[in-house]
């Protein structure tokens, strides 16, 4: 008979939805700042391993045959107390038998999840089982047989040293906290003077314990220096089942903080919980009385709620009772939350453990169905967030802001991370820490910065350009614009003067040589005249022609039915231009002009564009903006698509620039 719990697929999906909701609870009150939090993270089932310890000296019943045995690397069977002919079979992610070593457990089930910490994700390892079944041995071990905690710390510190070495993209730091939950009180094991600490949840759904000591550690010796005396602070007592029965839940929290050394200066935080739970034994069999019974009751109450949380997650219930005990509140982001979790259920072979073993296995089987949704906990480093506009509350300053906050916000939103070492960042307002920046906007800024970096931008990164520097740059740009405007005004004045001078000269000529006046009839029929006003060419074209004076540009002329191609350099002067012949622009010249204009539209700077007729600074900016958004213009007529340029304006632009090009050439006579 298979006793592994087979929950319906639909229930599991609902549980996953509840898990995700639980992971992001609080998101409704304030926005998530996790990058990509808007996307649903992929699910990761809670992994469950069972470890059967060997018979140990000094335990009663060591001479009895074992009541449980392994079948393969994932399954085991235990006698069915209701029917001695049958056994109960269980299947898990891994089963470790009596002969398994500490290294087997660590390498098989714990080591693989450590890498997630460096991705900014959370992970947790929980040792569950009745008192005396080997939880502390598995988690802590002995100097000869070190358990999960020393091995994980050793590896993690090594990993962070390598990954955070000079020249690598991220700087890494590791901190540790150590606490126990004893009789529903949260006690700081690194500070024996601290009282009961409160567990809070921030606006991103992270579980926090404000005031909990956090020690930076860079080596295993550092870790031992803090951990060993703290372990002695643990509340232990004697019961009939175990000489040194743990009466409390011990939680070691290791945080890996990563800060990107280059733009866009992201920061990530991965949390690892290593938890040695208090015994799950049945209270009535321990022979506990008085204080011990009270302790046991509290322990079992916490574990009882843990069972309810697992059931609620499995059944997809709308309310998961995390808040009903300190233990489950603390585990909120590990069970049905954001962590990669592994539960190691420790069991003992002795017959008198039988009922506790069955209940531990049943709990483990139910936990196997819980689905977490781990996500990367990533934000921008506080110094990058200078330009974020402060809300009224931030501007009010701490005491006033406190008054302005509602009681709910006070409880939830004010909770700072347990960063004792991060005192500098604690001085920053929550807004400056990005917690309320729109994640979509943040993502766009990040990708823009990444794009600039990938294009080898030499300038200061967009997100990290200090505000003052940006102001100075803006001012310089403004001054330059003013200067350009002034120069343009001056140019106009000079042009007007030249025109006036010309008009005066021609008047004088008419007065002095009336004989060279053409007959009026001749003058009115010339077609070259209206084009004369369009003699201004794009600057580049004039420059090109000046550079290559011998370049031949042809104008196709019509005279009656006869067509003739002539070089512009033909030595015919203007005297004959007013002859009655129709001027047309050659298609080659037209195409050439169009191509030049198109090139200028696609490659010219705003300044270059202003050398074109009918293009002022505003239109030049519009063109550049359109080009950046939509890519190059495929034809000059696309100008009409630029917002702010009408079809009429586009036509007049074409006339002024392309036809102007033709009119700028000297027309040959027939």
Q: Which is nearer to Mg ion, 136 or 239 (CB)?
A: 136
CA gyration radius, the chain: 40
Site string for ligand ADP, 230-259 (x = CB under 6 A): ------------x--xx-------------
Q: Which is nearer to ligand ADP, 131 or 435 (CB)?
A: 131
Using the rule CB under 5 A, give the single segment among 57-65, 136-144, 388-396, 620-628 that binds Mg ion: 136-144
Among the listed residues 440, 376, 336, 375, the one whose alpha carbon sits nearest the alpha carbon of residue 42:
375
Q: Is 24 annotated as a binding residue?
A: no
SS (H, E, C) 62-93: CCCCCCEEECCCCEEEEECCCCCCCEEEEECC
Site string for Mg ion, 190-229 (x = CB under 5 A): ----------------------------------------
The strand pairing partners of 419, in sequence order, are none
Is-cis flag, bond preceding 342, omega within 30?
no
Q: Which is nearer to ligand ADP, 209 or 343 (CB)?
A: 343
Handedness of CA 128, 133, 136, 137 (dihedral sign): negative
Q: Is 316 annotated as a binding residue?
A: no
**Which residues in 629-668 contact ligand ADP (CB under 6 A)?**
none
CB of 299 to ligand ADP, least distance (A): 12
From residue 611, give the alpha-carbon distance in Å to each of 600, 608, 626.
10, 6, 18
Q: Which is nearer to Mg ion, 109 or 246 (CB)?
A: 246
346 binds, among ligand ADP, Mg ion, none (CB under 5 to 8 A by kind): ligand ADP
Among the listed residues 265, 554, 524, 228, the one whose alpha carbon sits nearest the alpha carbon of residue 385:
265
Q: Is 136 annotated as a binding residue?
A: yes
> Does position 246 bind Mg ion by CB under 5 A?
yes
- Which alpha helices (DSSP H) does 513-548 contain, by range? 520-525, 528-532, 539-547
Q: Rule CB under 5 A: choose which of 136, 332, 372, 379 binds Mg ion.
A: 136
Q: Which is nearer to Mg ion, 348 or 380 (CB)?
A: 348
Return the DSSP state at 140: T
Q: Which is nearer to Mg ion, 33 or 136 (CB)?
A: 136
Q: What is the DSSP string of 118-139?
A: GGT-EEEEEEESSTTSSHHHHH
Query: b vs e for 243-281, b when ≥16 Cβ sit within 10 Å of the residue's Cβ?
Result: eebbbbbbbbbbbbbbebeebbbbbbbbbbbbbbbbbbb
Comparing every residue's Cβ against ligand ADP, the nearest one is 134
Structure tokens at 354: 């039988």
**Which residues in 341-370 contact ligand ADP (CB under 6 A)?**
346
**Which residues in 48-67 contact ligand ADP (CB under 6 A)?**
53-54, 56
Q: Rule CB under 6 A: choose which of 41, 97, 164, 279 binds ligand ADP.
A: 279
Q: Is 130 annotated as a binding residue?
A: yes
133 binds, among Mg ion, ligand ADP, none (CB under 5 to 8 A by kind): ligand ADP
Describe the crossing of helices 290-315 and 9-23 by its angle, rounded to 10 degrees. Answer: 110
CB of 281 to ligand ADP, least distance (A): 9
CB of 136 to Mg ion, least distance (A): 3
**Which residues in 117-156 contact ligand ADP (CB under 6 A)?**
129, 131-137
CB of 24 to Mg ion, least distance (A): 34
Using CA atoms, how far apart are residues 528 and 277, in angstroms rounded to an integer?
Answer: 99
279 binds, among Mg ion, ligand ADP, none (CB under 5 to 8 A by kind): ligand ADP
Which residues, other chains included, contact 72 with Cβ-Cβ below 8 Å and sequence gap of 6+?
A: 95
Describe the crossing of helices 290-315 and 354-367 by its angle, rounded to 10 degrees. Answer: 30
Q: Which is nearer to ligand ADP, 41 or 129 (CB)?
A: 129
Q: Are 322 and 328 in contact (CB under 8 A)?
A: yes
Using CA atoms, how far apart are residues 272 and 289, in angstroms rounded to an integer?
Answer: 36
- Residue set of the binding site for ATP: 129-136
Binding region for ligand ADP (CB under 6 A): 53-54, 56, 129, 131-137, 242, 245-246, 279, 346
């Amino acid at each position: 008979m298979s006793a592994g719990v087979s929950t319906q697929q639909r229930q599991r999906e609902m549980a996953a939805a509840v898990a995700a909701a639980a992971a992001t609870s609080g998101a409704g009150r304030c926005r998530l700042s996790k990058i990509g939090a808007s996307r649903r993270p992929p699910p990761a089932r809670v992994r469950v391993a069972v470890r059967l310890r060997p018979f140990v000296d000094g335990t009663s019943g060591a001479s009895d045959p074992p009541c449980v045995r392994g079948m393969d690397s994932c399954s085991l069977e235990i006698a069915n107390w209701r029917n001695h002919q049958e056994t109960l079979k269980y299947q898990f992610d891994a089963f470790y038998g009596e002969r398994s070593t500490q290294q087997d457990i660590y390498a098989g089930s714990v080591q693989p999840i450590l890498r997630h910490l460096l991705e900014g994700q959370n992970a947790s390892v929980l040792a569950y089982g009745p008192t005396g079944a080997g939880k502390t041995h598995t988690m802590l071990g002995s100097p000869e047989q070190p358990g999960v905690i020393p091995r994980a710390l050793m590896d993690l510190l090594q990993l962070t040293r390598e990954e955070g070495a000079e020249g690598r993209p991220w700087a890494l730091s590791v901190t540790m906290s150590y606490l126990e939950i004893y009789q529903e009180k949260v006690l700081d094991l690194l500070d024996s003077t601290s009282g009961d600490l409160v567990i809070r949840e921030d606006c991103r759904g992270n579980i926090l314990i404000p005031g909990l000591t956090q020690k930076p550690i860079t080596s295993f010796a550092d870790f031992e220096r803090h951990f060993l005396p703290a372990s002695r602070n643990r509340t232990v007592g004697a019961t009939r089942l175990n000489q040194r029965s743990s009466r409390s839940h011990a939680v070691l929290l290791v945080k890996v903080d990563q800060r990107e050394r280059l733009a866009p200066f992201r920061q990530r935080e991965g949390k690892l919980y290593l938890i040695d739970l208090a015994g799950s034994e049945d209270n009535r069999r321990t022979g506990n009385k008085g204080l011990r019974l009270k302790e046991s009751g509290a322990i079992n109450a916490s574990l009882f709620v843990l069972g309810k949380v697992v059931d609620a997650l499995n059944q997809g219930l709308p309310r998961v009772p995390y808040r009903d005990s300190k233990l489950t509140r603390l585990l909120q982001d590990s069970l049905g939350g954001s962590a990669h979790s592994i539960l190691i259920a420790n069991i003992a072979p002795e017959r008198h453990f039988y009922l506790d073993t069955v209940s531990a296995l049943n709990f483990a089987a139910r936990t196997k169905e819980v689905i977490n949704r781990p996500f990367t906990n990533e934000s921008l480093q506080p110094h990058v967030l200078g330009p974020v506009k402060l809300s009224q509350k931030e501007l009010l300053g701490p005491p006033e802001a406190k008054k302005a906050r509602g009681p709910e916000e006070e409880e939830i939103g004010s909770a700072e991370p347990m960063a004792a070492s991060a005192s500098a960042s604690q001085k920053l307002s929550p807004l400056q820490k990005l917690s309320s920046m729109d994640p979509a906007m943040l993502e766009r800024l990040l990708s823009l910065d990444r794009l600039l970096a990938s294009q080898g931008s030499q300038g200061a990164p967009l997100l990290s350009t200090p505000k003052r520097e940006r102001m100075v740059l803006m001012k310089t740009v403004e001054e330059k614009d003013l200067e350009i405007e002034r120069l343009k005004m001056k140019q106009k004045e000079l042009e007007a003067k030249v025109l006036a001078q010309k008009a005066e000269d021609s008047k004088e000529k008419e007065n002095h040589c009336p004989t060279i006046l053409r007959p009026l009839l001749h003058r009115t029929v010339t077609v070259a005249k209206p084009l004369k006003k369009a003699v201004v060419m794009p600057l580049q074209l004039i420059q090109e022609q000046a550079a290559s004076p011998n370049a031949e540009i042809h104008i196709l002329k019509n005279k009656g039915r006869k067509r003739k191609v002539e070089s512009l350099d033909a030595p015919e002067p203007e005297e004959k231009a007013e002859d009655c012949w129709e001027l047309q622009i050659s298609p080659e010249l037209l195409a050439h002009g169009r191509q030049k204009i198109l090139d200028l539209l696609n490659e010219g700077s705003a300044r270059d564009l202003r050398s074109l007729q009918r293009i002022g600074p505003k239109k030049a900016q519009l063109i550049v903006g359109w080009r950046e958004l939509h890519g190059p213009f495929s034809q000059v007529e696309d100008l009409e698509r630029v917002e702010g340029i009408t079809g009429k304006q586009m036509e007049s632009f074409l006339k002024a620039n392309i036809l102007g090009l033709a009119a700028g050439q000297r027309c040959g006579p027939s």
